[in-house]
Amino acid sequence: MQVRHFIDGEWCESGQWSESLDPANAGIIGRFADGGLHEAQAAVDAAARAFADPQWSQNPRLRQQILLDWAAALKDRQEELANLLTRENGKALAQSRGEVGGAISEILYYAGLARHIPGHVLEVAPGEFSTMLREPAGVAGLIIPWNAPAVLLVRALAPALAAGCTCVIKPAPQTALFNAAFLEPLLQLPTLPRGSVNLFAETGHAGAAYLVATPKVDVLSFTGSTATGTRIMQDAAPTMKKLSLELGGKSCCLVFEDTVISTVAHKLAAAATIISGQQCTAARRVLVHASRLADMKKALTAALAGIRLGHGLEATTQMGPLIDWRSRDLVGQRIAESMESCDEVLLAGGQPGGALSAGAFLSPTLIAHRDSGAFFCQEEIFGPLLILEAFEDEAEAIARANHTEFGLSASVWTHDTARAMRVARALRNGTVWINDHNKLFAEAETGGYRKSGLGRLHGYDALLDFTELKHVYQNVGTL
C-alpha cells in the first residue's frame, strides 16, 4: 500500500517516503509520501483560494451533499477500513469496527447540521435591525492524532466542512495510511471543489508548525498532548487565530460504597485498557470508598490480569500493542518508576515475551497509593496504568478528583441518584459519566476544563469553533 498527499485537487508526492509498521509485529504495512513545510504552504494556499469561492463557503446544500456522498462511499469500505485501522494502530478489531461505524454516523450528523447554522435578527430600535450572521471562519488547519484517527478526524473535519471552512489536514505519521484511505472517497468526489480539502503527511513537525504560525490559517484544531497544545497556543498567539485544543486528561472514577464491586471492576478494567490505555478519557485513577478498598483491590487485579493481549485482528484479543516502540519504552519507563515509588503494587505489568515480544506490547499495571500529589497521580501516562486510592467521604472523593490540572472526564459509580448528580456537578470536568465510562457520541459536545483544552468538538457547539459571528446593522427607517 502506498499513499500520497492531496493538494489543490491533485494526488502528489514529495521525493521522500516513510514506512508505516504494524505495531503488533513490526511488519511493514505500506509507505506514505513524507512532506513538510513546502506541502503545508501549497495546501494552505489552495485552501485559501477555495475559500474565496462563495460556491463553497456560502453553499450549505452542496456541503451537505458532499458529506452524504462521502459517508455512503465509506459504508461500502467499512470492513476494509476497520481492518487497516487495526493493523496500523493496533487496537482490537471490534474497537476499529465501532470507531469506523461511529465516524460514518458522525459525518451524517454534520451533513444534517450543514443546513442548519442559523443566526438571528434583532429589532434594536424602530426601523433599526441587527442581523447576527454565523459565517465560516475561513481556512481550517486540522492536526489529527493516531489513537482514534477516524473519529478524531471526523469530529474536526465534518463540522469544519459543514460550517463552510476549507481545510488542510495533517494526520499523525503513525496512522497516515489509514487517514489517506479514509479520506480517499471524499477526495475523489467529482463534486468536491478543488482545494477545499487538502491532506499532507510528515514525520517531522515543520508543516504542522506552519499551520499554527501562518496568518493564512484562520482556525487551528489540534488534538494531542497538553505540552504540544501549550506550544501551539504560544506559537499561534501573534496571529490571534481561533484555536480548538483537545488535550490530555487524567480521568478519575469515583466508586461509592453502595456499588457491586465485581461488576464495576470489570467495567473499569475495560475503561483503563481501551486502546491499550491510549485514550484521552481512559480510566486512570479509581477512587473507592475506604470500606470497599480491599474488595476493589482483589476485583480490579483479577479483571486486569484477565485481559487478553494479542494482535488486534485475532478474535480473542481484548488489548493490542501501544502505538509504537518509542511510546512503549517511554510509557514503560514511567510505569516502572511509578511502581518503584507507590505504596503497593497490585499487578506488575510489563513487556510480554514469546510471540508478542516483537510488538510494542505492555500488559496492564495496577498500583495503590494514598498521596494524590504523587507524580503518577498527576501526570498523564498514556498507557495501561491504573491507580487505586481510597476516600472516607463524598467531600474527600471530590477533593481528590479535583486535585489535578486536567479536566477532561470522570465517572461516578453509585445507585444513590441524588449523590450521583451532586458529585457530577462538583467535578471540574468537561464530561462526567454516571455508572459508565468512555461513552462518547457525535451529538454530545466533548472538551476539557483547565489544561485539558479549549472549545468543544462533537455536537452542535463544534460548529462554533469553525465559525465567526458577524453583526450586520441596517436602519431601514419607519413608515
Catalytic residues: 246, 280
**What residues between 272 and 311 interact with ligand NAD by CB under 6 A?**
280
Which position among 81, 165, 183, 247 is part of the footprint of ligand NAD (CB under 6 A)? 247
66 to 105: interface string for ligand NAD, x by CB under 6 A: ----------------------------------------
Q: Name residues contacting ligand NAD, limited to 342-401 (CB under 6 A).
A: 380, 382
Least distance (Å) from ligand NAD to the CB of residue 284?
10
246 binds ligand NAD (CB under 6 A): yes
**Residue 45 binds to ligand NAD (criterion: CB under 6 A):** no
Question: Would you say 208 or 286 has its CB closer to ligand NAD?
Answer: 208
Q: What span, in angstroms and rounded, lies between the C-alpha atoms of 91 and 148?
A: 9
What single string gives the DSSP state of each residue in 227-286? HHHHHHHHHHGGGT-EEEEE----EEEEE-TTS-HHHHHHHHHHHHHGGGG-STT-EEEE
x-marked contacts with ligand NAD along 200-239 as a string, rule CB under 6 A: -----x--xx--x----------xxx--x--xx-------
Contact 382, 335 (CB under 8 A): no
> How many residues form the binding site for ligand NAD (CB under 6 A)?
27
Nearer to ligand NAD, 305 or 330 (CB): 330
CA angle 327, 92, 103 (to 5 degrees): 95
Shortest separation between residue 47's beta carbon and ligand NAD, angstroms: 17
**Alpha-carbon torsion (441, 442, 445, 451), positive or negative:** positive
- In the chain, the amino acid numbered 299 is A
The rounded distance, in Å, linking the Cα atoms of 266 and 245 is 32
Q: How far is the CB of 473 from ligand NAD (least distance, A)?
A: 38
Interactions with ligand NAD, residue window 108-147 (CB under 6 A)? 143, 145-147
Shortest distance, CB of residue 212 to ligand NAD, whole angstroms?
5
In whole angstroms, give the CA distance from residue 313 to residue 359: 14
List Cα–Cα distances, 43 to 37, 48, 273, 341, in angstroms: 10, 9, 37, 48
Where does 52-92 have alpha helices with state H? 54-57, 60-76, 78-89
Stretch 151-170: interaction string toward ligand NAD, x if CB under 6 A: -x------------------
**What string marks each residue from 414 to 453 as x (binds ligand NAD by CB under 6 A) or -?**
----------------------------------x---xx
**Min dist. Cβ of residue 7 to ligand NAD (A):** 17
Minimal distance, residue 249 CB to ligand NAD, in Å: 5
Reduced to 3 states (helix: H, G, I; strand: E, B; else coil), residue 79 is: helix
Q: What order do you get walking across the sheet with 28-33 strand by strand?
A: 2-3, 28-33, 17-21
The phi-psi region of residue 313 (left if phi > 0; otherwise alpha if psi is between -120 and 50; otherwise beta) is: alpha
Strand order across the 128-136 sheet = 120-125, 128-136, 467-475
Q: Which chain residues interact with ligand NAD by CB under 6 A?
A: 143, 145-147, 152, 172, 205, 208-209, 212, 223-225, 228, 231-232, 246-249, 280, 380, 382, 408, 448, 452-453
